[in-house]
Structure 1
Amino acid sequence: MSDAPLRLVIFDVDGTLVDSQMDILAAMGQAFDRAELPVPARDEVLGIVGLSLPEAFERLAMGAPSALRLNMVEWYKDAYVALRAKVGAAQSSPFYPGAREMLDRLHAVPEILLGVATGKSRRGLDKLLEGHDMRHFFVTQQVADHHPSKPHPAMILAALSETGVAPDEAVMVGDTVFDMEMAQAAGVRSVAVSWGYHPAERLSQANALIEDFNDLPGVLNGFWGTEI
């Protein structure tokens, strides 16, 4: 029996494990159209991915009345659900190359636990987990319904509490500044991915940057002195 400590790898979802940008952009466009406001540019929209929706609309529709922004949150959710229903979650939010294989590999290591920390709602995450048949991977699942928006550390702190893993044995893997700042605030290491929605040059506070999922085990080995 291994005497290695339990370790926790927490993944962001959109922009890290799966690419949901087409539905995100389309749903955001519908929400702004219904509000009769100019639709933000693509880079502006992708720049807020990872935030909870109220926070996202506060930034994207800064001058709009708060009541309208709350309506836009619901319009976005309705549009996103409708778009996803057309083809299913697995097709509308496909895995990035190597993501599924890396989840399989890490899940097979007894002392490594996997978690999720996402700006998605519980409903949205459930649909994605079901669509990709990956619910069994994640022993802790932190969603926007129950926490302040990233970069507040609440999601990671809850994941640590639920799993009993020490902060120095945990790693956050994400694609945005919000993920990196959340990890720093929670006192855990962070790994940034280069293929997501924030450009790599914005992710300098990460402890490591990877350009391929195959690079992740080596980074984790360096953090923990293990051989995954």
Structure 2
Amino acid sequence: MNNFDLIVFDWDGTLVDSTAHIAKSIQKAYADNDLPVPNEADSKHVIGLGLVDTFNYLSPDLTKEQHQGIVNRYRHHFLEADKTIHSFKNVLEGLQDLSQKNYFLAVATGKSREGLNRALTKVNFGHLFVVTRCADEGLPKPNPDMLHFIMDDVGVTPERTVMIGDTTHDLLLAQNAGAQGIGVTYGAHEKDKLIALNPITCVDSFAELTTWLLKNG
């Protein structure tokens, strides 16, 4: 018998290799607006948050006009190279294996609905998810709102749910929703920061994640 019924994945840095591109787009957006450019560590730290929280964290004193200017240029730079973003190795095969074991698969992401819908058209595994939830459809990570929505939609309790992601925001989301969390170390946040939040495991590749879930999930 499975320990979990519902497996929820973050998108950027967990399923698709986009963290470096996101961080560079943030930095370019600040440069375009003649504002101090965040360093790489801070630019990666905010990956997974909604755009409002992202720029409030990086620059809490921005004016409304500055905030909008950064958002506009960030979107420009992200879309400019969006076609170069690909899923991590073994994601399709892993998701197929998990789906065949009758897990419900879902996505909880800091992307906007427009952004996720666009991303789903570029991959060949979107049909495997029973539900997806985005930051602009409720409260963003680490608030438990999006995970509560997914669990309610599928009809699965927190005890039977696991959230998988590459950031502390994902693991805090799991904790705040009463679910379990698994960290992946190949994305935005460093392994020691993930381990500090006591996930049930941390894995170094999607193939390792799939193997662990098929054995222990």
TM-score by length of 1: 0.87
Aligned residue for 1:98?
Answer: 90
Aligned counterpart, 1:116: 107
Q: 1:214 to 1:30 in 2, by over 3 A?
A: closer
2:46 aligns with 48
Q: Indicate the SS of the match to 2:121.
A: helix
Cα RMSD (Å): 2.0
Show the counterpart of 1:11: 9
The alpha carbon displacement at 1:215 in A equals 2.9
2:202 — aligned with what?
A: 209
User: Cα deviation per residue 1:88-119 (whole Å; 9 max; x = unaligned)?
Assistant: 2xxx222222222211111222x211000000
Q: Give unpaired runs (5+ residues) of structure 2.
A: none
Which residue does the alignment assign to 2:62?
A: 64
CA shift for structure 1 position 218 = 4.9
In structure 1, how many angstroms separate the alpha carbons of the residues matched to 2:77 and 2:211? 40
Structure 2 distance, partners of 1:50, 1:180, is: 11
Match of 1:174 in 2: 165
Verify the 8 A CA contact 1:115 1:159 in the aligned structure 2: yes
Correspondence for 2:136: 145
Query: What count of residue pairs does the alignment treat as equivalent?
Result: 215
Deviation at 1:46, TM superposition (A): 0.7
- Give the drift of 1:59: 1.2
The residue identity in structure 1 corresponding to 2:89 is P
Unaligned runs of 5+ in 1: none
Aligned partners of 2:178, 2:213: CA distance in 1, in Å? 16
Q: 1:129 to 1:62 in 2, by over 3 A?
A: same
| Counterpart AA for 2:69 | N
Deviates more, 1:26-35 or 1:200-209: 26-35
Partner amino acid, structure 1, of 2:93: E
Alignment identity in percent?
31
Task: Give 1:191's match in structure 2, choosing from 161, 168, 182.
Answer: 182
Change (3 A) 1:30 1:213: closer
Deviation readout 1:33-55 (Å, 9 max, x if unpaired): 23211211111101110000110
- The residue identity in structure 1 corresponding to 2:148 is L
Mapped to 2, the partners of 1:183 and 1:5 lie a distance apart of 16
Do the aligned partners of 1:6 and 1:113 also contact (CA within 8 Å) in 2?
A: no
Which residue number in structure 2 is paired with residue 23 of structure 1? 21
CA contact (8 A) 1:12 1:174 kept: yes
Between the aligned partners of 1:21 and 1:221, the Cα distance in structure 2 is 27
Q: Deviations over 1:133-184 (max 9, x none)?
A: 2220111101011121210001110000111112111110101100000000
Contact 2:91/2:207 (<8 A) preserved: no
Q: CA deviation at 1:5?
A: 9.1
1:202 corresponds to which letter in structure 2?
A: K
**Runs (4+) of structure 1 moved beyond 6 Å?**
3-6
Q: What's the TM-score, normalizing by structure 2? A: 0.91
